[in-house]
Structure 1
Amino acid sequence: RNTLFYDKLPSQPLRLSVLKLDGSSFDIQVSKTATIAELKDAVEAVFSYSPQHGPGKISWMRLIC
């Protein structure tokens, strides 16, 4: 039986693509050990300023995983 140890994972950050309901998308990077709160902060940091649309607000209740 193989066991995966998180301390043996490569140190590169996770690169995630976020697809918005309007069809646009953006990429974020977080560490492999990031918490949900850190992931949420990273999404909000990118989404809070969009050169095309200006500041925005995320409706976390409508988030599709």
Structure 2
Amino acid sequence: MRLIDDVDATGARRIRRNAYIWYRFTILAVREILTRRDTVHERPRPQPRRLSWSSGPKARES
């Protein structure tokens, strides 16, 4: 019974560590996307915007 308890403890620790890593990565990725979307309309874009998601900022600028 001791062996099963040890395996469960290490498994829970591994799951907790992976969840923390994914939590940090998700927070940083969302923050990066939000800051990039806020500053993307301040820079001039050389290529024409023909993506569907860029129609929102374009409509808001005009």
TM-score by length of 1: 0.27
Which structure's relative contact order is higher, taking Cα pairs within 8 Å and 6+ residues apart? 2
Larger radius of gyration: 2
Higher fraction of helix = 2
Higher fraction of strand = 1
TM-score by length of 2: 0.28
